[in-house]
Amino acid sequence: MSSYLTRKTAGDTEWFTKSRFGMFIHWGLYSMPARHEWVKCYERIGEEKYDKYFKYFNPDLYDPKQWAARAKAAGMKYAVFTTKHHEGFCMFDSAYTDYKCTNTPAGRDLVKEYVDAFRAEGIRIGFYYSLIDWHHPHFTIDQLHPRRDDKNAKELNEGRDMRIYAEYMRNQVRELLTNYGKIDILWFDFSYDKTDEEPYASYDWMTGKGKDEWESEKLIELARSLQPGVIIDNRAGLDQDLWTPEQYQPLEWVKDKKTGELLTWEACQTFSGSWGYHRDESTWKSPEMLIRMLVNTVALGGNLLMNVGPTSRGYLDKRAVDSLKVFEDWMKYNSRSIYGCTMAEPEFTAPCDCRFTQSEDGKRLYCHLFAYPYAHLQLFGLAGKVDYVQFLHDGSELLFTEGKVNHFSFGASENKDLLVVELPPIKPDVIVPVVEIFLK
């Protein structure tokens, strides 16, 4: 058994850490301007102009069965869908607002169709729910709000009451956790302080928002009462089940800063930079980087939540499909080094340019070759511990020697700890080849 124990929390994280890989889906009205899901904030767009998107939102090609099939093929075991993003638009048929998809040309509950399609593929269901809301009339104007630069911004806040908004959120979370069957993850987003950094410092009378504004204790209590096993992230400003490093890769297992305890964590990453569909973005990650990200994450005991931003017509564009295909091709033959795997025990140190993962039961060690070495893979500390070695992608045997290097070289000396795996001189046609090591 793995010796790494993470902090116990209320949510059921057991299936989650075994699964390791999920799909994030950012979809909303912002897929129409197609220049970042924060466009309303960045460009300070007023309601009247933003209403154009509401008026014309028509995802006529939305077929979540296809998304689910692609997610499954890519090896993703769960999904997290934006039921409402910061723009405030609801992708579900809420009784508490008119600002929802059923009142647009879309004319149907898009969350429901997502849930049905993904569940049918055996994929676990997550809901992202934005705490920030740039549409709700009681959400006060702060330094992130699209109207922060209005001349009368301060006056606009008169009469706005965050307590009414907090109640609105509870009502919607109740709907989301009641009307769609079992929900596995609830992903709140996010809390922020007033910072001293420009450009925000100049908004001197504005404040940040966090657990007090969201009334997070009540919100979370409600969520747990409706869905006892649900995994909840930390972004409502209270430590819960899940730590969520965003758009960076941790260099070690995420720990509690004070106690040093290991935590359950999930890196979230985009294919191209923005979360929502961005037509003109050209910073798409290379296939190598995508696979390495997944491997690096699992090698440090984490999960990877990889994002797609569907178009406003409701399909995944070619660039997203191609990126998912990278995972599909690799996972088809190599997923055994990912599912049910975690950071290798401290006694094992991966060689240069390699990453280890290890199965939970400790019996298999996986060496991921980020750079393909010539002919020999030298593994220190493994001599005497290994029963059998093969390439994972094709299950072909890899011969090995122990205690000595089995080739002529000056100064080659005996080393009792050393195990040397003989590799074919040409790298197999796999982005990141994996050496599967069966331990004694």
Residues lying near ligand GLC in the complex (CB under 6 A) are found at: 26, 37-38, 189-190, 246, 268, 275
Tell me whether residue 19 or residue 191 sits nearer to ligand GLC (CB atom): 191
Give the nearest distance from C-beta 357 to ligand GLC in angstroms.
24
Q: Which residue type occupies 119?
A: R
Distance between CA atoms of residues 101 and 200, nearest Å: 32
Give the count of beta carbons closer than 10 Å to the beta carbon of residue 42.
11
- Residue closer to ligand GLC by CB (options 85, 355) is 85
In the bound complex, what is the minimum distance in angstroms from residue 187's beta carbon to ligand GLC?
Answer: 8
Asked whether the CA dihedral 68, 69, 70, 73 is positive or negative, the reply is positive
Q: At 234, is the secondary structure helix, strand, or coil?
A: coil
CB of 38 to ligand GLC, least distance (A): 6
Q: Between 242 and 290, whose beta carbon lies closer to ligand GLC?
A: 242
Report, in Å, the least distance between residue 31 CB and ligand GLC. Answer: 13
CB 244 within 8 A of CB 265: yes
- Beta strands of 203-294 (E only): which ranges? 231-232, 266-269
Q: What is the rounded CA–CA span in Å between residue 347 and residue 357? A: 13
Nearer Cβ to ligand GLC (189/436): 189
Nearest to 73 by CA among 317, 394, 322: 322
User: Token pair of 351, please?
Assistant: 């060689």
Q: Cα separation of 261 and 358, whole Å?
A: 20
Nearer to ligand GLC among residue 166 and residue 306 (C-beta): 306
Least CB distance to ligand GLC at residue 367 (A): 31
Tell me the closest approach of the beta carbon of residue 246 to ligand GLC, in angstroms.
4
Q: What is the DSSP letter of 145?
A: S
Minimum CB–partner distance for residue 265 and ligand GLC (Å): 13
Nearest distance, CB of residue 374 and ligand GLC, angstroms: 41
Pick the closest to residue 119 from 163, 154, 68 (CA basis). 68
Q: Whose Cβ is closer to ligand GLC: residue 178's or residue 247's?
A: 247
Distance CA 418, CA 409 (A): 15
Q: Quick count: other Cβ atoms within 10 Å of Cβ 94?
A: 22
How wide is the angle at C-alpha 311 spanned by C-alphas 308 and 315, nearest 5°? 80
Task: Determine the 3-state secondary structure of 335 from DSSP.
Answer: helix
Provide the angle, in degrees to the nearest 10, between the axes of the packed helices 64-74 and 110-120: 40
Q: At closest approach, how far in Å is the CB of 165 from ligand GLC?
A: 18
Q: Which residue is nearest to ligand GLC (CB)?
A: 246
The answer to whether 86 and 37 have CB atoms below 8 angstroms apart is yes
For ligand GLC, give the closer residue by CB, 87 or 436. Answer: 87
CB of 216 to ligand GLC, least distance (A): 16
Cβ atoms < 10 Å from Cβ of 301: 24
- Identity of the residue, 243 or 400, whose beta carbon is nearer to ligand GLC in the bound complex: 243
184 versus 189: smaller Cβ distance to ligand GLC: 189
Q: Which two tokens stand for residue 89?
A: 């638009």
Cβ at position 229, least distance to ligand GLC in Å? 22
Closest to ligand GLC by CB, 26 vs 100, is 26
Cβ-based nearer residue to ligand GLC, 87 or 215: 87
d(CA 384, CA 158): 74
Cis check for the bond before 199: say yes or no (omega within 30 of 0). yes
Within 8 A by CB and 6+ apart from 112, the residues are 92, 93, 179, 180
